[in-house]
């Protein structure tokens, strides 16, 4: 609580709760000098609240993101230490009348997995779709495999589609999962800077662990997205 209570660090955490950001974007968002923002980013990283990942599109850039699991655990511990009745229970709020579009480049790995996971976690209450700026001809076999083996979700009939295919629809939230799409085709409601798991190795067998890693991170982010979709007004006020 002491780490998060600093006004600037709290402002930075708040910005990163909405989207993964680069340092210069954080600087603009909080209105403080870059050296000061960088200092407090180091503090947040040392506490395990924030992590960083190099952009898969432009290696000179890096995206900072919240470690949602670590943040949740830390705040739960603080609440429980203050009073047992304050211990929060995540995942109870279920969204309705909300819509989300996930975007990446090929619509063959990250975005179809995100679409499937959100539909699964929301019990179909969220209207969700995915698309790609340059869609592939099929969903990657490893995406099909990890969804089936880890979550019991069948993606075999999923067909990648282009952004143009969903251009006639409106969505409450547009989330980019690919640095290239985010940096070339903006704006979006939020950005989750995730690596392309298919680029992790030369063979499907070798890249499968990266698909597991990306799917796990997507599932974590989506579980924390659900309360945001359920209470959008409260989230904006916070």
Mean pLDDT of the chain, nearest integer: 90
pLDDT greater than 70 at residue 91: no
**The pTM of the whole model exceeds 0.85:** no
Q: Where in the chain is the domain with CATH 3.40.50.2300?
A: 98-237
SS3 content of the chain, % helix, strand, coil (to 5): 50, 15, 35
E strands along 97-216, which residues?
Answer: 98-104, 126-132, 173-176, 190-191
Q: So what CATH class is 2-86?
A: mainly alpha
Q: What percent of the chain has pLDDT over 90?
A: 77
Q: What is the pLDDT of residues 183-199, one digit of tens each?
A: 886 667 899 999 999 99
Q: Where in the chain is the domain with CATH 1.10.10.10?
A: 2-86
Fold of 98-237: Rossmann fold (3.40.50)
Q: What is the pLDDT of residues 102-128, one digit of tens each?
A: 999 999 999 999 999 999 999 999 999
Unique residue bearing structure tokens 């499937």? 116
Contact 9, 40 (CB under 8 A): yes
Task: Report which of 105, 63, 73, 83 is spatially closest to residue 4, judged by C-alpha positions.
Answer: 73
Q: Is the pLDDT higher at 106 or at 79?
A: 106
Q: What is the pLDDT of residues 159-171, one digit of tens each?
A: 999 999 999 999 9
What end-to-end distance do the CA atoms of the chain give, in Å?
Answer: 17
């Amino acid at each position: 609580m002491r780490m998060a209570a600093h006004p600037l660090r709290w402002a930075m955490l708040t910005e990163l709760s909405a989207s993964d950001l680069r340092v210069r974007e954080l600087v603009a968002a909080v209105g403080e000098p870059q050296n000061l923002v960088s200092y407090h980013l180091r503090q947040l990283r040392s506490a395990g609240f924030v992590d960083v990942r190099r952009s898969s599109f432009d290696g000179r850039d890096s995206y900072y993101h919240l470690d949602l699991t670590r943040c949740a655990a830390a705040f739960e511990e603080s609440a429980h230490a203050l009073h047992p009745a304050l211990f929060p229970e995540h995942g109870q709020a279920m969204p309705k009348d909300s819509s989300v579009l996930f975007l990446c480049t090929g619509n063959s790995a990250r975005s179809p997995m995100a679409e499937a996971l959100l539909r699964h976690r929301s019990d179909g209450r969220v209207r969700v779709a995915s698309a790609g700026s340059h869609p592939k001809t099929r969903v990657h076999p490893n995406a099909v495999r990890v969804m089936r083996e880890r979550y019991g979700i069948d993606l075999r009939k999923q067909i990648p589609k282009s952004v143009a295919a969903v251009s006639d629809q409106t969505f409450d939230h547009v989330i980019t999962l690919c640095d290239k799409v985010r940096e070339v085709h903006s704006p979006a409601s939020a950005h989750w800077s995730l690596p392309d798991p298919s680029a992790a190795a030369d063979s499907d067998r070798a890249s499968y662990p990266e698909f597991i890693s990306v799917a796990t991170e997507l599932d974590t982010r989506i579980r924390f997205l659900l309360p945001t979709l359920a209470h959008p007004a409260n989230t904006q006020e916070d």
